[in-house]
Amino acid sequence: MIMPRTFDLGIIRGTGMTVAPSATREKIVTAADRLFYERGFEATSFADVAELVGISRGNFYYHFKTKDQILDAVIERRIRDRHEMLCGWVDDGQPPRDCIANFIGILLKNNRKIRSFGCPVGTLFSELTKLDHPGETGARGLFDLFRVWLRHRFQDMGCGKEADALALHILARSQGVATLANAYPDEDFLEREVAQMLAWLDAVADQHNNHH
Amino acid sequence: MIMPRTFDLGIIRGTGMTVAPSATREKIVTAADRLFYERGFEATSFADVAELVGISRGNFYYHFKTKDQILDAVIERRIRDRHEMLCGWVDDGQPPRDCIANFIGILLKNNRKIRSFGCPVGTLFSELTKLDHPGETGARGLFDLFRVWLRHRFQDMGCGKEADALALHILARSQGVATLANAYPDEDFLEREVAQMLAWLDAVADQHNNHH
DNA sequence: GACAGGTTAGGACAAGCGACCTAATGATAA
DNA sequence: TTATCATTAGGTCGCTTGTCCTAACCTGTC
């Protein structure tokens, strides 16, 4: 397991020291995280975030020098959250097949948000790529997190060299399902596709159980 | 086959008459189509389009009253182009299996653009949804065009009631592959997934050949 | 030449944006 | 109390945006 980015656990502001994160800063990141997801990064203004947090606009400059820094903090948090979630499943001692099934299950767990706004990872990456925004690297890091984690689970299942291709495959399937669930928000489609993905997963598992 | 939108084949400008489309208007739509795809709708300004076309900014108002009208025209053209492409395959007398294979082949044919900017349909829809933009309906119409066409091809293959689910499935797979090809622009992934989709298609075809 | 109608260029306009500054506030420690 | 320093509110700045207006430009026909 590789942490794709170093984590800024607090405010540094020139002192070179790591301090406990400010409560307001965390509120800003939380609000920005939500608005970047629901409205997109560019369409979200400082005023929007300030209104949601309930603070003054001008106050932002104290916590973040630029809008890009807020984006970095949001991506950082998203990576940390997903990282914890994924590692939690492994630490629980769940077998790799169940871990991957949990990943697929995210689509159902978050089905309402996904049907409204698509996948937080895919839509953010897509937007930043089009904007030629440096944050694209961080957004790709989110993909990397899932890709590497899935690869390791498939390796644990004994898939060997195929593991990375399988990881990308299931990642792509999830992205596609999220996109179409967003365009056609009827619940049946999502459940149907998740069931198919789980069946596919079990077929892969069986195939490698029989071989070894 | 249903045309999801009526086509405005020219400029109306109050007269209620349909006139031959102006050359400048077509240039504007072409440039906007490209920029909306490469940079996104909101991030593309009138100045950007004007520069690409080589005309004055202020001139836009003569051809389009608002930016939204340009978007409508772009979506209209995209629908018309895809409609012609899809109908062309059917009119050529290609069997349904080959028609669907052609659809999957779009991913390879446009692989360079897709790896750079993602899928023109999916990314546009995703952006407009987040913006709560009325053009979302038109963008969904693009999905509808493919969905209905694919459904009819699967029906022609004898898939009956499953046809629509199969159409959505292959649509979702395409979307996911495009998204990940955008994030990881190495050629192998795209070719691998396309091969898998074609294998899946043949499996579906065989299944329904044996049954009947 | 004179005229008319479709077309174009260039600029004006208010609104909103990110970035930035400064004075006021609040809590803590001497 | 006083001093200190982190934090906040409110406002300004230059810039870009979409929208809109008007004068000039073609390119025909009379």
Cα angle value B182/A112/B114 (rounded, 5°): 10
Alpha helices per DSSP H over chain A: 23-39, 46-53, 60-63, 67-91, 96-109, 111-117, 120-131, 136-156, 163-183, 187-211
Strand D-contacting residues in B 57-86, CB cut-off 7 angstroms: 57-58, 60-61, 65-68
pLDDT in tens, B68-80: 999 999 999 999 9
Per-residue confidence (pLDDT) for residue B187, from 0 to 100: 81
d(CA B73, CA B154): 31
Q: Which of residues 23-62 of B touch strand C (CB under 7 A)?
A: 23-24, 55-59, 61-62
A129 contacts B117? CB cut-off 8 A: yes
All residues of chain A having their beta carbon less than 8 Å from the beta carbon of residue B118 are 126, 129-130
User: A31: alpha, beta or left, given left = phi > 0 and alpha = psi -120 to 50?
Assistant: alpha
Q: Which has the higher per-residue pLDDT, A59 or B9?
A: A59
pLDDT at A26 > cutoff 60: yes
Question: To the nearest whole percent, how much of chain A has pLDDT over 90?
Answer: 83
Residues from chain A contacting residue B126 (CB–CB below 8 Å): 118, 122-123, 126, 179, 182
Q: Are A40 and B127 in contact (CB under 8 A)?
A: yes
CA distance A175 to A126: 11
Mutate which of A180, A184, A188, A193 to disrupt the B interface (most B C-beta within 10 Å)?
Answer: A180
pLDDT digits over A70-109, tens only? 999 999 999 999 999 999 999 999 999 999 999 999 999 9
Q: Is the CB of A14 under 7 A from strand D?
A: no
Instruction: Tell if the CB–CB gap between B172 and A177 is shorter than 8 Å.
Output: yes
Give the pair of three-digit tokens for residue A129: 């790529």
Chain A residues lying within 8 Å of B128, measured CB to CB: none
Phi and psi of B12, rounded to 5°? -110, -45
How many residue contacts between A and B have a Cβ separation below 8 Å?
A: 112
Cα separation, A188 vs A64, whole angstroms: 43
Q: Kindly indicate the confidence band of residue A60, based on its pLDDT and cuts at 50, 70 and 90.
A: confident
A11 touches strand D (CB under 7 A): yes
* Position A127, amino acid: E
Q: What is the 3-state secondary structure (H, E, C) of chain B?
A: CCCCCCCCCCCCCCCCCCCCCCHHHHHHHHHHHHHHHHHCCCCCCHHHHHHHHCCCCCCHHHHCCCHHHHHHHHHHHHHHHHHHHHHHHHHCCCCHHHHHHHHHHHHHHCHHHHHHHCCHHHHHHHHHHHHCCCCHHHHHHHHHHHHHHHHHHHHHCCCHHHHHHHHHHHHHHHHHHHHHHHHCCCHHHHHHHHHHHHHHHHHHHHHHHHHC
Interface mutation target, options B147, B175, B187, chain A, most CBs of A under 10 Å: B175
Calpha distance A132→A102 (Å, rounded): 33
Supply the pTM of this predicted model. Answer: 0.90
Among B37, B121, B126, B128, the strongest candidate for a mutation testing the A interface, having the largest count of A CBs within 10 A, is B126
Contact assignment for A131 to B40 by CB distance below 8 Å: yes
Give the pLDDT band (50/70/90) at residue A21: low
**What confidence score (pLDDT) does residue B20 get?**
56
Cβ distance of A38 and B130 shorter than 8 Å? yes
For residue A4, the model assigns a pLDDT of 35
Q: Please judge whether B168 and A184 are an interchain contact, meaning their C-beta atoms are less than 8 angstroms apart.
A: yes
Residue A167 pLDDT: 98
Q: Is the CB of B65 under 7 A from strand C?
A: no
pLDDT tens, position by position, A128-184:
999 999 999 999 999 999 999 999 999 999 999 999 999 999 999 999 999 999 999
Positions in chain B short of pLDDT 50? 1-19
Using alpha carbons, list the distances in angstroms from residue B39 to A61, B79, B134, B170: 28, 20, 19, 27
**B127–A118 C-beta distance less than 8 A:** no
Closest listed residue to residue A59, CA positions, set A49, A69, A68:
A49
B184 CA vs D24 C1’ separation (Å)? 52
B56: nt with nearest C1' to CA: C9
Q: What is the pLDDT of residue B58?
A: 85
Backbone CA torsion sign across A10, A11, A16, A19: negative
- Structure confidence at residue B209 (pLDDT): 73
Burial-class residue A206 by CB neighbours within 10 Å (0-12, 13-18, 19+): exposed
Q: Which of residues 19-38 of A touch strand D (CB under 7 A)?
A: 22-24
Say if residues B179 and A176 touch (Cβ distance below 8 Å). Answer: yes
Residue A2 pLDDT level (bands cut at 50, 70, 90): very low
pLDDT band at A121 (very low <50, low <70, confident <90, very high): very high
Picking from B26, B20, B65, the residue whose alpha carbon sits closest to that of residue B46 is B65
- Give the mean model confidence (pLDDT) for residues A117-136: 98
Per the listing, tokens 């109050």 go with B14
Burial class (CB in 10 A: 0-12, 13-18, 19+), A148: middle
* Closest-lying nucleotide for A63 based on CA to C1': D7
Across the interface, whether the CB atoms of B126 and A173 are under 8 A apart is answered: no
Q: Is the dihedral of CA B16, B32, B168, B107 positive or negative?
A: positive
Which of A130, A140, A184 comes nearest B183 by C-beta? A140
What pLDDT score was predicted for residue A1? 35
Nearest CA-CA partner of A122 in B58, B52, B184, B207: B184
- Are A126 and B118 in contact, with CB atoms under 8 Å apart? yes
Total length of chain B? 212
